[in-house]
Structure 1
């Protein structure tokens, strides 16, 4: 009697007509493992994409198409509905900030600032009392209100914003601050990011530093000291984690021109799982 041909493990999987219970069990197990892998890949990739990119663009785009109004207009309508015209003169800045926070918490996400980050800004502005302020990117105006409510009345504030304020390109404004806006030195600078593909703040920072030999710096240096008081330029960069700005962070942290401090917190109006941060850099000259 001829010996049966040797059958190697797994060989019968190539011949479905010869499948038995074991082969079917292996096929079911393989399909299950494949399903789980694909499910997790899609879920985790989608989850990461949504919290890193999607929530910044998809809802905003959707509601802009549906309502025909950009986020700033939708927010303005919400504020007007909360405060009828006859009451607007009684509104203070704190109430306005609460309403903006409420909108971004309950209606739709917006890369604003939130009360948690706002308290950090409050502390810096209150202790530093800047007389000249530069805000690069104020979005819906939350950070601008937050800064201005603690400023001395004589302070000068310059805002660079692509849509609503003086310019779309900071590089065209900064060189002429002294001539056009009578600002020689900046006491406080706020740098904001609202999109992943925005350029780094580093070129702007170097532009503000200027060339020391030419005296074109907008930062306070040791030479600006008068008696015991030493004016300093303080810079806050927001969303340095989620939206990222590695070039800027590496420069200020490695440079002996700056003393830095990192503030970590969750992204405004989101859960604690979404980590974000702000970087404070004090120019030492």
Structure 2
């Protein structure tokens, strides 16, 4: 009797383990909505409860354990490895990260703005490529995320190139010129709440923070999606827009980045 119970529990545990580690992750790889539901809701809440830590805290520990101080590439590699092999997280990711890198290298911005820092991954990718004397301002609404991002950026040795600001983008954008002495931005990376892409872009315009030639790069325009933003930049005579097809970070689900050059 006891032997049968042990065998039954062992079998059930093996099935659950297989479902958790391989079957479900493989099944949701090609569906963005299911992938987000599984990774960003179910798994994250489960691990938060079991470990009494947050995903950003676990990601930071992976950086501290596996990345070399003052080496941005090792920080990027440590986060990508964590997200591909241990726990998914909503960074721009390695595949789309190469597109981000190419655009930053093309623009070579002196003034750059990131909307949505999360844990600092994309800030590290951007800041490491900035020319001497350039600065990245990154905004993060969530103070817990901001605290982790500061430590990740510091581990990469990029504090001198990044100014991280806590608060809502709608509150900070009108204060950019006064607070930071910024006239206009050369490059803007949008990676925060998708329903804020369009109002924040219009606010950047209204505040005179975009100049002719400013490049806007928006992540996750397909998944979760920013249809109103896409319609605006693609139809507006003020922008020349191009779509870069890719995949939702660390999955095979369809996604992409929209690069929009401000014309007037």
Deviation by residue 1:163-220 (Cα, 9 ceiling, x = unmatched): 21423311111111111011010000000146xxx5331110001001xxxxx41111
Contact 2:96 2:247 (8 Å CA) reproduced: no
Flag the 1:49–1:262 CA change in 2: closer, same or farther, 3 A: closer
2:176 is aligned with 1:185: no
TM-score if structure 2 supplies the norm length?
0.77
- Computing the radius of gyration over CA atoms, which structure comes out larger, 1 or 2? 1
Among 22, 45, 55, the alignment partner of 1:61 is 45
Distance of 1:200 and 1:95 partners within structure 2: 32
TM-score if structure 1 supplies the norm length?
0.71
Please report how far the alpha carbon of residue 140 of structure 1 lies from its aligned counterpart in structure 2 after TM superposition: 1.6
Contact 1:167 1:173 (8 Å CA) reproduced: no
Instruction: Map 1:1-285 to 2 at 5 A.
Output: 50-83=34-67, 88-89=68-69, 91-162=70-141, 163=143, 164=146, 165-193=164-192, 198-210=194-206, 216-221=207-212, 232-270=213-251, 272=252, 274-285=253-264
Distance of 1:252 and 1:171 partners within structure 2: 19
**Unaligned stretches of 5+ residues in structure 1:** 1-42, 211-215, 222-231
Structure 1 consecutive aligned stretches of length 4 or more whose deviation exceeds 6 Å: none
Contact 2:33 2:224 (8 Å CA) reproduced: no
Distance of 2:169 and 2:43 partners within structure 1: 28
Distance of 1:95 and 1:171 partners within structure 2: 33
Which one has more relative contact order, counting CA pairs under 8 Å at least 6 apart? 2
Deviation by residue 1:2-27 (Cα, 9 ceiling, x = unmatched): xxxxxxxxxxxxxxxxxxxxxxxxxx
Deviation by residue 1:219-269 (Cα, 9 ceiling, x = unmatched): 113xxxxxxxxxx20000000101111111100000010000001112121
SS at match of 1:256: coil
CA RMSD in angstroms comes to: 1.9
Please report how far the alpha carbon of residue 52 of structure 1 lies from its aligned counterpart in structure 2 after TM superposition: 4.6
Contact 1:101 1:114 (8 Å CA) reproduced: yes
**Unaligned stretches of 5+ residues in structure 2:** 1-26, 147-163
Please report how far the alpha carbon of residue 49 of structure 1 lies from its aligned counterpart in structure 2 after TM superposition: 5.1
Distance of 1:122 and 1:49 partners within structure 2: 26
Task: Give the number of aligned pairs.
Answer: 216
Task: Give 1 or 2: higher strand fraction.
Answer: 2
Distance of 2:255 and 2:96 partners within structure 1: 10
Distance of 1:139 and 1:242 partners within structure 2: 17
